[in-house]
Amino acid sequence: MEKYDLCVIGAGPSGYAAAMRAVDFGKKVLLIEKGELGGAGVTNGALSSKTWWELARNVDALYRHKSRYNLSTPEINFNELKDQVAAAVQERKDMLFSHLQKLHGGNGAQAKPVTFIRGRAYLKSPHQVEITTGSKVLTIETAYIVLATGSRPRKLPGIPIDEHIIMTSDGIANLKEFPKSMVILGAGVIGCEFATIFSSMKCTKVNLIDKGDRILPFEDEDVVKVIEQNMEAHDILIHRNARMVRMEIVDGEVEYELAYTDGRKEVFHVEKALVSVGRVPNYENLGLEEVGVEMDNRGIIDDDTQTSVPNIYAVGDITADIALVNVGELEGRYAVERIFGTPARKLVYENISTIMFLNPEVAGVGLNEIQARQKGIDYKLARVDYQVIPRAIAQRNTQGFVKMLVTNDEAMKIIGLRVVGEHASSAMQAIALLISMDKGIEEIAECVHPHPSIPEGIQECVRLFLGKSTFKPYALNDLLHLKAHNGNGQQ
């Protein structure tokens, strides 16, 4: 029976990161994947959807600027765009596989540090894993196990999802052309991203079902206002305060009925439907219950990545933590550092940078206003409109703003940042670092920023807090804002 120091089950972003970190410790590693190398994060998740977003952004720009360059209305070639997405996915898969092959074929002390097997894993015991690959079954022994089997789109009972007419994000690859019309159930991040993608292609009339009175209910109202305005400018119909009564396939298309909070009911017909109501962890058929790994309906219960079985760890979407690629990679690396070493710092989530690929993009780190009020935090807010940022003016796109939150005291420690607009994510990491270091705004007050750049808006926010901004809010009160909130949300 082959023996390993570490067996990683799942070769998505978190599992791959865990395996590579174990290589740094000189350990003998087995990496198992039943599906595609790279997991959903590459095949039908972050990479593929963001490639679609980039292509849609290019199409949208062509339409916006066609008169400037005396261009006629462009014809959109669906197959060419789809091929580009497939090429991006394959490029990443090839790189990951080539990397594994070169590691496996190393010489001397580096010989075979990682063995990759495509197959299904099942835990026979906390230290034995059975692998089924084709018609063969083999069992290996391992000192430690990292579970990184990811997640899949959530399906709702009563909706006949066939991944062709009514789809989840997994079914996007099955499209043969852009549908003339589509309804998206779910107004969270993924639903809004796909609404942005399809509407920007100018081929699909998009309807978006929102059970509340606005999309992205976890995000601040000023952020949502910009996104909703752009959605409606792109002819997206937002069904607000709507509950789906039924969704059916009728004559090869989709019929759905909505009930509104005011008592109305309406029936709609579209070509396709996309169900985007979250994801569920992949922890079935792994033998976890038999070996004593504790779970609930949100995922594996873990304590700082360690499960209820001491030598078994869980990372990425299979846990109840934040389901993001960068978080999964962080957890994978951290788990291995706990197993074979001592992490330099505790795993924290307060300074995780995020980006929503909407129109325009939205990037953030730390708390937003909703979260700050929920926590009862006294805070100050500075907001700078893109219209005063030279880079945005040069791009001929001044829609957006930079908003920073700090503690309402002399220290003025940074607690959150939101940027809406072009290049929104360009300065997140500096602020994430300051948040993790529990630092105040003095650290960046006089830092020389590149010019022209969007991060200059962050610098102007800081100068607003310090009372030495270039532009004075009382002179440009529609473009710059400075205010304070106490813990109950009063100004």
How confident is the model at residue 488, as a pLDDT? 60
Distance spanning both ends of the chain, measured CA to CA = 67
Query: What are 85-90's contacts with CB under 8 Å, separation 24+?
Result: 85/48, 85/51, 85/52, 85/55, 86/173, 88/47, 88/48, 88/51, 89/38, 89/42, 89/43, 89/47, 89/48, 89/51
368 Rama sector, left if φ>0, alpha if ψ -120 to 50, beta otherwise: beta
Q: What is the mean pLDDT of residues 477-487?
A: 89
Amino acid at 399: Q
Domain extent, residue 418, equals 354-482
454 burial type by CB count under 10 A (0-12 exposed, 13-18 middle, 19+ buried): buried
| Dihedral angle computed from the Cα positions of residues 38, 170, 179 and 211, in that order, rounded to the nearest 10 degrees | -120
The sign of the torsion formed by the CA atoms of 31, 34, 40, 42 equals positive
Q: How far apart are CA 280 and CA 209, in angstroms?
A: 21
Residues 287 and 360 occupy one common structural domain: no
Would 65 be classed as within a structural domain? no
Would 69 be classed as within a structural domain? no
How confident is the model at residue 117, as a pLDDT? 94
Q: How far apart are CA 170 and CA 147, in angstroms?
A: 22
Q: Please provide residue 446's backbone torsions phi and psi, each rounded to the nearest 5 degrees.
A: -115, 15
Confidence class for position 438, pLDDT limits 50, 70, 90: confident
> Would you please indicate which residues are annotated as catalytic (active-site) residues?
451
**Residue 489 predicted with pLDDT over 70:** no
Residues 420 and 476 occupy one common structural domain: yes
DSSP state of 374: H
Residues 329 and 473 occupy one common structural domain: no
The most confident of 65-74, 335-344, 421-430, by mean pLDDT: 335-344
| Tokens describing residue 354 | 């995020």
Would 433 be classed as within a structural domain? yes
Q: What is the mean pLDDT of residues 40-53?
A: 92
Q: How many residues does the chain have?
A: 491
Distances from the Cα of 201 to the Cαs of 112, 178, 189, in angstroms? 46, 8, 19
Q: Helix, strand, or coil here: 387?
A: helix
**Residue 381 predicted with pLDDT over 70:** yes
Place of tokens 């200059």: 456
Question: Contact 193/356 with Cβ under 8 angstroms?
Answer: yes
Q: How far apart are CA 348 and CA 432, in angstroms?
A: 12
Max CA distance (Å), the chain:
76
Q: What is the mean pLDDT of residues 285-302?
A: 91
Question: Contact 254/274 with Cβ under 8 angstroms?
Answer: no
Residues 211 and 116 occupy one common structural domain: no
CATH of the domain at 184: 3.50.50.60
How confident is the model at residue 339, as a pLDDT? 97
**Residue 221 predicted with pLDDT over 70:** yes
Would 345 be classed as within a structural domain? no
Residues 122 and 147 occupy one common structural domain: yes
**Residue 112 predicted with pLDDT over 70:** no
Residues 251 and 385 occupy one common structural domain: no
Q: What is the mean pLDDT of residues 136-143?
A: 96
What does DSSP say about strands 414-420 and 362-366: parallel, antiparallel, or unpaired? antiparallel
Confidence class for position 446, pLDDT limits 50, 70, 90: confident
How confident is the model at residue 107, as a pLDDT? 52
Residues 402 and 474 occupy one common structural domain: yes
Mean pLDDT check: name the lowest of 102-111, 123-132, 265-274: 102-111
How confident is the model at residue 320, as a pLDDT? 73
Amino acid at 438: D
Q: Which runs of E-coded beta strand occur in 210-361?
A: 237-239, 242-250, 253-260, 265-270, 272-275, 279-281, 295-296, 299-300, 312-314, 354-356
Question: Contact 283/116 with Cβ under 8 angstroms?
Answer: no
Confidence class for position 56, pLDDT limits 50, 70, 90: very high
**Residue 241 predicted with pLDDT over 70:** yes
Mean of pLDDT over the chain: 92
Mean pLDDT check: name the lowest of 118-132, 273-287, 438-452, 462-476: 438-452
Residues 121 and 231 occupy one common structural domain: no
User: Which residue among 223, 257, 277 closes a domain?
Assistant: 277
Would 211 be classed as within a structural domain? yes
User: Which residue among 231, 260, 277 closes a domain?
Assistant: 277
Tell me how crowded residue 74 is: count the other CB atoms within 10 A of its CB: 12
| Dihedral angle computed from the Cα positions of residues 460, 465, 470 and 471, in that order, rounded to the nearest 10 degrees | 90
Distances from the Cα of 366 to the Cαs of 112, 401, 470, in angstroms? 41, 17, 26
Residues 142 and 291 occupy one common structural domain: yes
| Tokens describing residue 118 | 């495509």
Residues 296 and 372 occupy one common structural domain: no
**Residue 334 predicted with pLDDT over 90:** yes
Q: What is the mean pLDDT of residues 152-163?
A: 96
How confident is the model at residue 490, as a pLDDT? 56
Residues 7 and 145 occupy one common structural domain: yes
Q: What is the mean pLDDT of residues 308-337?
A: 92
**Residue 57 predicted with pLDDT over 70:** yes
Confidence class for position 324, pLDDT limits 50, 70, 90: confident
User: Looking at the 3D structure of the chain, how many domains does it have?
Assistant: 3
**Residue 106 predicted with pLDDT over 60:** no
| Tokens describing residue 471 | 């532009």
Residues 201 and 107 occupy one common structural domain: no
User: Which residue among 277, 307, 332 closes a domain?
Assistant: 277
